[in-house]
Structure 1
Amino acid sequence: MGKTLLLGGLFGGWYLFNIYFNLYNKQVLKVFPYPFTCTALQFAVGSLLALTMWTLNLHEKPKIDKDLIISVLPLAIVHTLGNLLTNVSLGQVAVSFTHTIKAMEPFFSVLLSALFLGESPSIPIVLSLLPVVGGVALASATEVTFNWAGFLAAMGSNVTFQSRNVFSKKFMGKKKGSLDNINLFSLITVLSFFLLTPIALLRDGGFLLTPNAMHAMGIIDTKLVLQRAVFAGFCFHAYQQVSYMILQRVSPVTHSIGNCLKRVIVIVASVLFFQNPMGRQNMIGTGIALAGVFAYSQVKRIQVANSRKAAAA
């Protein structure tokens, strides 16, 4: 019972942190349209939390050396790109539309697994992906906030995040000592901060987050915007960290189903909060895409169960 309650609490925290991240992050990006700086700040907050966790011995410290950093660096690069592109998309289009596009993650997961891991998808898997692609196309055709920059950025985040998952699978297969899922994510976050911060400083300038610079942008309540930006950074790290904690306790398929439900909740919450107009065809397309993701998760669950039965026999 205790384990069940803990798992339920983790799922609740995962969803809640994700909702708050999207809502606060969108509010910040509306008045402070600098996704590079916002993403670097989120990595900074995450890095501070990770270092605090290690300093207070809340989790076993990883043994970091040059070879480990070189091995993790590709993961950090795609992680940086994925989160940056997500913020670019959130700054350009509605939160609900970004997450509708990101429902195509299973499509890119299957594609990249086939290309780099040699995992050929079954016919049921391919069929379950058809409504995902069709639903996203239908929703995109009637999206009020549609623009190519937001659409392509969200698509790019799908590619980079699924590349990260493929690289993570390869990396974790090597069993790098104390570098479990939580430490791997924390180390990736720290490396991402060091990768993106110089680029953000060069691209956006180094003093955008000062009160004077924000006043010059027309931001009246600079303290409130900074508070929301920092809180969004906290939620950003928290929801991803909790996601890894859940993944250690459940199967990847269960985690995938939970992620599908999370996306539904985030879309509904953002539409209600921002009062974004959604046409009938847009809602139908979003529903078809999310139903396809759920079907994909169920097909994966059945395949995993059959594989285990075959192995036991």
Structure 2
Amino acid sequence: MQGTAISFSPSISLPNKPNSISTHRHGFLQSPRTELPLHFNPLLKTPSVSSRKLITPIKCTSSVNPISSGWISGPPPEPESDDNVKVRATSVPESAPGQPEGKALVDTLVLGLLFGLWYLFNIYFNIYNKQVLKVYPYPVTVTVVQFAVGTVFVIFMWLFNLYKRPKITSGQLAAILPLAVVHVLGNLFTNMSLGKVAVSFTHTIKAMEPFFSVALSAMFLGEMPTIWVVSSLLPIMGGVALASMTEASFNWAGFWSAMASNLTNQSRNVLSKKFMVKKEESLDNITLFSIITIMSFFLLAPFAIFAEGIKFTPAFLQSAELNVRQVYTRSLIAALCFHAYQQVSYMILQRVSPVTHSVGNCVKRVVVIVSSVLFFRTPVSPINSLGTGIALAGVFLYSRAKRIKPKPKTA
């Protein structure tokens, strides 16, 4: 996603010569009407008052089995050259020749740790986020809170020199603004879907991201897909359709919100090539994501107040018979995990190829779907499981098909 992470391309650069561009995207999740509530965590010391609506807690463990996944996005479009600046994702080869054996082992362990954290943060984000949205049906406000926490985190890192403060020009901001807009819309639509349907169903629908990536690239960039890429889209569309027909929590609002999230997330790749500006310095992946997070907060905050009002105060939550401490705690944890998993996603992208990152996204979606089904005890029929499996298998095939280059035409 939700993939989304983000699915915009994470860095801007202006080389003297045409440069190759690789973009990446992201995406997010949900829970059904038949989810069974769990008892509250005693550590929160929440009074047991029957008149309050309470959120089910999470049992945190120190181990995670990363055999399934969360938000997914297809691999970046084909490289292209241009003399202008582009927002893009940079990556490095998975192995560099001539590395000492000890350093290679350390790099492998670090990469494995990053993948584990990526999956873990994504799991906890989706579960805590769903818990909040189940009792607090204000997705715009929830999204603003997530951007606000990310903004505070970024400013903290810059103020204490934990990460280099960038020098931003007005031209750079103009180039980043369209990406911030679609970033806002992508995350907002994902939260709207999570509030309406099951986490597993939202992520199954978001497996359609490769279809939107191919369609938008063909329409606006003239990048025609190979026969292998087109073939891999068929099981994705068929699997999503099969899962949708048998989904217990299905409703149209949740379905179209997830589809709109796919469209906006994948449009970031088109915008990263269409909106360009001259500049002096390049921005690395994490810096670009940090700037987009801050811009997203200032873009969405006024709209949230206009659309939903100020409904996150203790007085309002108490009047709605909600447990203030639990809503605040889980909202904070979800926001921190939201920012952390996307930061880690870019750290991984700097160490591996875009195709490997895309495969990791596919596995992450499986992890999130399985973990949400187990935690919320989501009823899943055999046909629904089959549809989800087919769709995810199609996403994996898509990531592999993108590596197959068409043969150059001979005169």
Among candidates 268, 280, 289, match of residue 185 of structure 1: 289
TM-score normalised to structure 1 length: 0.93
Instruction: Give the Å deviation of 1:210.
Output: 1.5
What is the match of residue 211 of structure 1? 314
Percentage of identical aligned residues: 64
Deviates more, 1:148-157 or 1:55-64: 55-64
Quick one: which amino acid aligns to residue 245 of structure 1?
M
SS at match of 1:62: coil
Instruction: Give the Å deviation of 1:117.
Output: 2.2
What is the match of residue 51 of structure 1? 155
Q: In 2 relative to 1, CA 172–246 (structure 1 residues): closer, same or farther, beyond 3 Å?
A: farther
Among candidates 400, 405, 410, match of residue 298 of structure 1: 400
CA distance in 2, matches of 1:169, 1:246: 23
Matched, 1:236 2:338: yes
Instruction: Give the Å deviation of 1:58.
Output: 2.2
What is the match of residue 326 of structure 2? 224
CA contact (8 A) 1:61 1:178 kept: no
Q: In 2 relative to 1, CA 42–53 (structure 1 residues): closer, same or farther, beyond 3 Å?
A: same
CA contact (8 A) 1:24 1:229 kept: yes
CA distance in 1, matches of 2:225, 2:162: 40
CA contact (8 A) 2:179 2:292 kept: yes
SS at match of 1:250: coil
The count of residues paired between Structure 1 and Structure 2 equals 304
Instruction: Give the Å deviation of 1:171.
Output: 6.4
SS at match of 2:283: coil
Among candidates 221, 227, 237, match of residue 123 of structure 1: 227
What is the match of residue 240 of structure 2? 136
CA contact (8 A) 2:196 2:253 kept: yes
What is the match of residue 107 of structure 2? 3
Quick one: which amino acid aligns to residue 319 of structure 2?
A
Among candidates 274, 280, 284, match of residue 386 of structure 2: 284
Instruction: Give the Å deviation of 1:44.
Output: 0.3
SS at match of 1:228: helix
Q: How does 1:1-313 map to 2 (within 5 A)?
A: 1-168=105-272, 177-206=281-310, 208-219=311-322, 221-301=323-403, 303=404
For residues 89-134 of structure 1, the C-alpha deviation after alignment (integer angstroms, 9 at most, x for no partner) is 0000000000000001111111111122221100010001100000
Instruction: Give the Å deviation of 1:160.
Output: 0.5
CA RMSD in angstroms comes to 1.8
For residues 166-221 of structure 1, the C-alpha deviation after alignment (integer angstroms, 9 at most, x for no partner) is 33356699786241111111111100000000000111112x112210011121x2
For residues 215-266 of structure 1, the C-alpha deviation after alignment (integer angstroms, 9 at most, x for no partner) is 11121x2111101001100001111111111111111111100000000000
Q: Whose Rg is larger?
A: 2
CA distance in 2, matches of 1:6, 1:115: 40
CA contact (8 A) 2:229 2:402 kept: yes
SS at match of 1:26: helix
For residues 47-87 of structure 1, the C-alpha deviation after alignment (integer angstroms, 9 at most, x for no partner) is 11111122222222221122221111100000000000000
Quick one: which amino acid aligns to residue 117 of structure 1?
L
TM-score normalised to structure 2 length: 0.71
Q: In 2 relative to 1, CA 185–102 (structure 1 residues): closer, same or farther, beyond 3 Å?
A: same
Quick one: which amino acid aligns to residue 358 of structure 2?
S
CA distance in 1, matches of 2:306, 2:208: 32
SS at match of 2:393: helix
CA distance in 2, matches of 1:250, 1:3: 11
CA distance in 1, matches of 2:132, 2:370: 20
Instruction: Give the Å deviation of 1:4.
Output: 0.9
What is the match of residue 82 of structure 2? none
CA contact (8 A) 1:60 1:178 kept: no
CA distance in 1, matches of 2:197, 2:363: 21
Quick one: which amino acid aligns to residue 101 of structure 1?
I
Quick one: which amino acid aligns to residue 271 of structure 2?
F
Unaligned runs of 5+ in 1: none
CA distance in 1, matches of 2:107, 2:275: 28
Unaligned runs of 5+ in 2: 1-104
CA contact (8 A) 1:76 1:188 kept: yes
Q: In 2 relative to 1, CA 173–105 (structure 1 residues): closer, same or farther, beyond 3 Å?
A: farther
Quick one: which amino acid aligns to residue 316 of structure 2?
A
CA distance in 1, matches of 2:237, 2:133: 28
SS at match of 2:248: coil
CA distance in 2, matches of 1:245, 1:41: 24
CA contact (8 A) 1:134 1:285 kept: yes
For residues 30-50 of structure 1, the C-alpha deviation after alignment (integer angstroms, 9 at most, x for no partner) is 111100000000000111111
Quick one: which amino acid aligns to residue 141 of structure 2?
T
SS at match of 2:326: helix
CA contact (8 A) 1:62 1:178 kept: no
